[in-house]
Amino acid sequence: MWIEAAKSLAELAEALNESALAVEARAAAERTRLAVEKIFWLSDRGFYGFATTLAPEKPPQAEPGPHRERRQARQDELAKVRLVDEDTVLPAVPLWWGQLEDERAQSQIDHLGSGALATDWGARILSDQSRLYDPLSYHYGSVWPLFTGWAAMGAYRYGRPHVGYQALMANALLRSRSALGYVTELLSGDFNAPFGRSSDHQVWSEAMVAAPLLRGLLGIEASAGGRSLRFAPALPADWDRVAVRNVALGAVRYDLSLVRSPGRATISVARRGDGPPVRLVVAPAFPLDARLRSVRVDGREQSFQAIRVGDVQRAEVAKDALSARTELVFVYDEGTDVYARAEASEPGARSEGLRILRSRAEARVLHLVLEGRAGRSYALRVRTPGGIADGPGLTAKKVDERDWELKVPFEGRGEGYVRRELSLRLR
């Protein structure tokens, strides 16, 4: 948060022509960012540690509850170290602001989307593999929709739309589970059930439906004092259209839409009202194996920049001085992506859903990283222009002109989540 505050201070200083202060603030932010990487990154475990700490003034006491002796032993260990190396959801905050090194960020997002942190109803604050974990504790294992929204935003920021969408939908589906339209404050880490002391009407939980939807999935951002508008949707593979109305930049309102058909995506931007000239940046996401052929803006050929980030590529186009209506048409060879329908968890249920961590199609091979409950099989849809071959222990069945269905089994003992990494040949 301090890094982001320093960067924001630099922006304010530039707006006031305080160039020396802007340089100082940006340098301070960069020094601190480098310190975060040096201190918190755990290279042997692939995530960022929770916190630095000082020796406690008195011995820590574990809260009453399940496995108290185990939790007490872990707290006694942590009292002797200076870095709390726990796997938590909280690195989602610097991910949201794009502060972490990309390769490390991708590994951290693997943890955020994993069954150890992610449940069907949201993100645990603490991994259920931790010796501190307690599914009835306010801070040691509960699920907060607030943190779930942070995880969604961080995943979308780094080009991981599957992890982002699963977190977004976990929050969205909570809106029909208690007080209708509201999202509760916190739930158990083991069961889809709010705590008895959870506030039904919790505004920060409800905000974490809106923010990941608008700023993550749809990639809408207004900046530069209302003089810049960005639209960078990263839609699930089976979404063919989306429309957003009344996006405000000062007194002006914008309506945005995207319609997809095989090999073609059309984005329309309509303006209502008068205001200063606005710079539009459009950057829809495509699978990595899609081949972008051309972009036309209002009928004219337009240059674009293909930017790879995480599991997607973005075709970025900028246009200054928008007219009352602008149309952008992207023509491309179809790529390959996967999707699974988001289903609401039953009240009181354990987490059972498939976790899609990575989906990358390159050189006619679809690389997947998935997690599921040991001993279960899951159905996963693949949208691809060609076909997909069976893999080890997998069966692929064509269900319509564009989609195939994979049955993915997860072998293992016990009731926990297990991981599978697959490389499937594309026809």
Whole-number pLDDT of residue 367: 96
Question: What's 169-183 look like in SS3?
Answer: HHHHHHHHCCCCCCC
What size, in residues, is the chain? 427
Rounded (10°) CA dihedral 184, 186, 187, 190: 150
Best CATH choice for the domain 43-216 from the list 3.20.20.140, 1.10.3720.10, 1.50.10.10, 3.40.50.2000: 1.50.10.10
Q: Could you say which residues of the chain have pLDDT below 70?
A: none
Task: Report pLDDT digits (tens) over 253-272.
Answer: 999 999 999 999 999 999 99
Tell me the β-bridge partners of 406.
380, 396
pLDDT at position 323 is 83
Tokens of 91: 């690195």
Residues 6+ apart with CB under 8 A from 275: 226, 249, 250, 251, 252
Looking at residue 201, its pLDDT comes to: 85
In the block, residue with structure tokens 């208690």:
178
How much is the pLDDT for 427? Answer: 83
Of 177, 32, 151, 114, the residue nearest 357 (C-alpha): 114
- Fold equal for 43-216 and 217-335: no
CATH number of 217-335: 2.60.40.1180
Q: In angstroms, rounded to a whole number, what is the distance separating the alpha carbons of residues 6 and 274?
A: 34
Which sequence spans correspond to the domains of the chain? Answer: 43-216, 217-335, 338-425
